[in-house]
Structure 1
Amino acid sequence: MVATQTPAVAGQPAPSPGQSIAADQPIATGRAVLDAGHVDIGPRYVDGQWTLLIHDGTQQQPVWRSPDETVLRVSDAALQAVPDDPAYAFLGIDAGKRVHVVPQVQNQDVVWIGWNTQDPQVMRTIDRGATLSLLGVRGPGRLTTFLQAGNFAAPQVLWRSAEPKAQPFWVDVNTHTHANWVFSTPGVYLVTVQVSADLISGEKVSAIRTLRFAVGDATSTDSAFTANADPGTTRAGDRVPGKTRNTADEPGDASPLPLVAVLAAAAVVLAVGLLLVLLRGRGAKRRAERERSTPPSERRP
C-alpha cells in the first residue's frame, strides 16, 4: 500500500511523462470490463459537450469509454494487509485486515486507475485546470483514495466515502496522476464523480458521471453493469446489491412526509383536548360563582 517511488501530488503532472493523448482518439462503444492495465478518468468534449470519460490505455490503441458501459474490476490480486501504523488510521479499517488496493505504483495484475487533463481540446479551453469532486459512493464498504510521496511521507487523503459531503481537489491542466484506491469490502461500488472547470472564454462547465467497480473475484460484473445510481441522491456508505437502495420502499422504513402528518395530527388532538379542559374549567367556575351568590332557599335541590 505504501508507494515505492515518489508519485505526483494532486494538481501536478506525474513524474513519469510519456503519455500524450491525440485529438482523434476514438470513443469506443459497447460494454467493457477493465481488470488490468493503465486507465485514467478525465474530462473530454463529446459533440461539443463537456463530459467525464474513462481513458482506456489497456490496449495498443487507446480509446475513450463511457463510464456507463465500463466496469473497473479490482481482482483478488489487489489484496493487501492494512499496515499497523497510525498514519493509516484515516482508512477506518483494523490493522492487518486484507483489503483490495489499486496501488499508486502499477501492479501489472491489477487495473491501474488515475486521472488526466490531457485531452487536446480540454487543454486549449480550460483556464489553468479543473476540479475533481467525489459526490458519493454506494457500496458494501468504504472507499478511500489517497496519495503518498514515498515511503516516509504522510498520506495525502483525497476522497473518503465515510465523509457525507462533496470532496473536491484541484488538477492542473496537462496533468497525469495515479493514486491509491482502497476498498474495505468486496462487492459492487458506484462512485459518483464531478469534473468542473472555468474556461478561458469565461464560461463554467461541469459534468457528473458514475464509475462502476466490481471489487473481488466473486463479485459479478453483470451486477456492476446493472446497478443503478442517481447522482442526486448518492450517499456515502449506501449498499448496492445490484441496484440502488430506495430507503422509502424498504419494510420498516417511512418517508418523512407521513411522519410529519402524524405529528401534526397529534398536535391538533392535543390542542383540542386542552381547549375542552379549559372550557369545562371555566363552566364549573361560573356555576360555583352563581351558587355562592344565590340564597340557599332559592337553590335547586
Structure 2
Amino acid sequence: MRLVHRTLALVAAATATVLGLTATPAAAATIETGHLDVLDVDYTAGALTLDIRSYSPANDDLSPAGTTLRLRSTSAIAVPSGSAWNCLGAAGATVYVAPQAENPNLIWPGWNTEDVPAAQGPVRMELVGVSSVPAGGRFALYTTNSFGTPTFRLNSNSAAGCPISVWPGNIGAGGHAHGNWAFSALGTYTLSFRATANGGAGVASPTVNYTVQVG
C-alpha cells in the first residue's frame, strides 16, 4: 500500500464538497510508492492547470504544494555504457531512477493529458528550472524503447548537447504515459514545470513547483 499521509487535507476536501464549495486538490505529506501522474494537465473553463493525479486509495488530484515525492535509495542503478546514455551521466555512475515500468516498491510517475480536449492540444511541457538541488544534482526524464534505447524528454544536464527545457514534439492531448525519472544524487530537488495548450500558442498554466526527495 502506498504511503500517503493526507488525512487532514482529505477531510477538508470532503467538508468542502458537503458544503457545496469547490474543493481544491488535496495535499499529501509524502508519497513513496504507487501509480502517480506527476504531470497531470487539466483544462477546465478555459484554464490549464498542473497537479498530481493519484490512483490509490482512490482517483484523486493532489496539490504539488506541500506534497513530497520520495524516491527511495533502492532505486539506484548504474548508467549503462554507450554514447546514447552520455546525457544521463558517465558510464557506471550511480543514478536514482523511478522507472518507466511499474515497481511496487517505488513511485511510478507519469504524465497525463486525458482531460485536455483535442482542440487544445498538443501540450507544450516546459522544465522551467531545477533548484534547491544537492551538490552535483541533475534531473532527467527519458523513455526507453523495446531495445532499451533512451530518448530524453527533459534534462537539466548542462553538458554540451544535453539540456532540454522543452519537451521535443510536445505531448498529445488525451494521453497518459510513463517514463524514467532520473536523479544524479541523493537529496531534495525542486522541479518547476509549466504547461501550455496548442503547442505553446494557447493558454498556459502557472509555473508549478514539485518537491522530490531522493533517498
Tell me which interval the TM-score lies in, with the shorter structure as reference length.
0.7 to 0.9
- Aligned position for 1:89: 86
TM (norm. structure 2) is: 0.76
Q: Deviations over 1:266-294 (max 9, x none)?
A: xxxxxxxxxxxxxxxxxxxxxxxxxxxxx
Q: State the secondary structure of the residue aligned to 2:97.
A: strand
Question: Partner amino acid for 1:112?
Answer: W
- Aligned position for 2:121: 128
Q: State the secondary structure of the residue aligned to 1:69.
A: coil
**Structure 1 unaligned spans of 5+:** 1-25, 217-301
Count of residues in correspondence between the two structures:
183
**Alpha-carbon offset, residue 181 of structure 1:** 1.2
Distance in 2, Cα, partners of 1:27 & 1:108: 28
CA RMSD of aligned residues (A): 2.3
- Aligned position for 1:155: 150
Higher relative contact order (CA 8 A, sep 6+): 2
Distance in 1, Cα, partners of 2:28 & 2:188: 16
The structure that has the greater radius of gyration is: 1
- Aligned position for 2:48: 50
Which has more helix, going by share of residues?
1
- Aligned position for 2:66: 69
**Alpha-carbon offset, residue 203 of structure 1:** 5.3
> 1:173-212 to 2 correspondence within 5 Å?
173-198=173-198, 204-212=203-211
Distance in 2, Cα, partners of 1:158 & 1:46: 26
Distance in 2, Cα, partners of 1:205 & 1:81: 37
Distance in 1, Cα, partners of 2:47 & 2:66: 18
**Structure 2 unaligned spans of 5+:** 1-22
- Aligned position for 1:79: 76
Cα pair 1:137 1:143 within 8 Å, conserved: yes
Distance in 2, Cα, partners of 1:179 & 1:189: 18
Quickly say closer, same or farther: Cα 1:215–1:46, change in 2 above 3 A: farther
Which has more strand, going by share of residues?
2
Q: Deviations over 1:25-53 (max 9, x none)?
A: x7543433111111112222578642111
Distance in 2, Cα, partners of 1:47 & 1:151: 42
Q: Deviations over 1:126-145 (max 9, x none)?
A: 43321111111111211111
- Aligned position for 1:5: none
Cα pair 2:48 2:203 within 8 Å, conserved: no
Q: Deviations over 1:77-131 (max 9, x none)?
A: 211121133321111x232222211111111111011101012xx327x433211
**Alpha-carbon offset, residue 165 of structure 1:** 6.9
- Aligned position for 1:102: 98
Q: Percent identity?
A: 30
Quickly say closer, same or farther: Cα 1:203–1:38, change in 2 above 3 A: same
Distance in 1, Cα, partners of 2:87 & 2:150: 9
